Structure 1
Amino acid sequence: MASSAAQTIARPEPTTHRLTVLIALGDAARAEQLADTLAASDDLLPTLAGSGMGQAADVALVDEAALESRAVSPATPCVLLSRRAGHERSAGNLFATLPASADSLLIAAALRLAASGYRISKSGPSEAHGDFHGELSEDETPDDNQPRAALSPREAEVLALLAEGAPNKVIARRLNISVHTAKFHVAAILIKLGAANRTDAIAIAMRQGLVLV
């Protein structure tokens, strides 16, 4: 008679799909630094251009040179790091434009959204065409002529929890959503507010009257 232990089969832990990010930047040091930073995420798998992984990439991080040279497959959504103040869209696979000095957290958020099919504009992620422009200065005051970021009701709830300092796991538990969904909402908030990180997002939200303390 077979023992009960022999009948017990250990089930493998479910694996999270990691998005393959092709990094094609002229600045090799910057490319390696971003690759190391993005690799620390549990859902991003960065690879440098020239490694032979380009065709398998889910999303690409490029600069003007890579974009204009068609170094990335036209089928791959791209996030552009631009040194120009107003880069005009020049490729159908360009889903977002960020300042060259953008924070790695903002870059990661843009990559996730672009890989999910969102074209990112300053008014937020959407299916419509648009670019994200603007520097990420902490002391930058919002333009009174610019409308407030239009957050969804769920994003407003997530923002309120961010203001309390809640991490993604706490946000997920409080709102009864998955951690992955919480990450997605946080990424959308960062993009909509044009924030470099969570702290910057709260500062901007306070200036716009989106959260009260």
Structure 2
Amino acid sequence: MANSAAQVIARPEPSAHRLTVLVALGDAQRAEQLADALAASDDLLPVLAGSGVGQMADVAIADEAGLESRVVSSATPIVLLSHRVGGERVADNVLAVLPVSADCLLIAAAARLAASGYRIDRAGRSEVAHGDFHDGLAEEDVPDDNQARPALSPREAEVLALLAEGAPNKVIARRLNISVHTAKFHVAAILIKLGAANRTDAIAIAMRQGLVLV
């Protein structure tokens, strides 16, 4: 459709916690393909640049052309798909820089993390860019990502991969043919083994340790 760039791509049953993701790429075909892939997630609502909702986006996925078009608010966290080499200066609101060839799962995970305030580099390392994601923890209780972690079981690795896709417990249970109670148990075990404060923190630590999306 000719005017698809102004179209909101959404699933018929939106989740109450979906993140609005502005897709601003110079390649319109790639933008539509990426938006279609993101729309398959239960927690992401992709919107193509040109729809007029850029200022309302929770996070943006852009390339250099998208940044130059200025459709992305300076206050919106950005996942930048770029040919830039590591160490080059980027705007303060660019919280993740990924290769232009990054696959949709990696881009989606980076978008979720960026929306939560995590800064991610091209190697998949992650750090909290702003805010305190360990409220209520004493300083000595904050997880040290450099500590050795117990190995995840094969089933926990499968659950972790689904967590990185943004899957809630019910979806994890359905995809792995297990009960929701068992899914909750595996998620809790993963958080304990990784020393994570929450699901988002677990994905960030797992990316840093090369457990997912490498």
Q: What TM-score do the two structures reach when normalised by structure 2?
A: 0.62
Structure 2: any 5+ residue segments left out of the alignment?
Answer: 1-14, 131-143, 163-171, 173-181, 192-196
Residues 64 and 195 (structure 1 numbering): CA distance in 2 closer, same or farther, change over 3 Å? farther
Q: Are positions 1:173 and 2:185 aligned together?
A: yes
Residues 41 and 125 (structure 1 numbering): CA distance in 2 closer, same or farther, change over 3 Å? same
Q: What TM-score do the two structures reach when normalised by structure 1?
A: 0.63
Contact 2:22 2:54 (C-alpha < 8 Å) held by counterparts: yes
2: distance between equivalents of 1:100 and 1:49? 18
Which residue in the other structure is 1:184 paired with? 200
Structure 1: any 5+ residue segments left out of the alignment?
Answer: 1-14, 130-148, 201-213
Contact 1:103 1:196 (C-alpha < 8 Å) held by counterparts: no
Offset at residue 163 of structure 1 (A): 6.9
Offset at residue 189 of structure 1 (A): 4.2
Two-structure CA RMSD over aligned residues (Å):
3.4
1: distance between equivalents of 2:63 and 2:146? 29
For 2:20, what is the secondary structure of its paired residue? strand
Offset at residue 63 of structure 1 (A): 0.2
Residues 129-168 of structure 1 deviation map (CA, whole Å, 9 limit, x = unaligned): 9xxxxxxxxxxxxxxxxxxx94567xx46x6135765324
2: distance between equivalents of 1:178 and 1:190? 10
Offset at residue 23 of structure 1 (A): 0.2
Which residue in the other structure is 1:106 paired with? 106
Q: What are the within-5 Å matches in structure 2 for residues 103-182 of structure 1?
A: 103-121=103-121, 122=123, 124-128=125-129, 150=145, 156=149, 160-161=152-153, 165-167=157-159, 168=162, 169=172, 172-176=184-188
Question: Is the radius of gyration larger for structure 1 or structure 2?
Answer: 1
Offset at residue 187 of structure 1 (A): 2.9
For 2:117, what is the secondary structure of its paired residue? coil
Contact 1:117 1:127 (C-alpha < 8 Å) held by counterparts: yes
Q: How many residues align?
A: 162
2: distance between equivalents of 1:42 and 1:53? 20
Which residue in the other structure is 2:92 paired with? 92
Residues 166 and 57 (structure 1 numbering): CA distance in 2 closer, same or farther, change over 3 Å? same
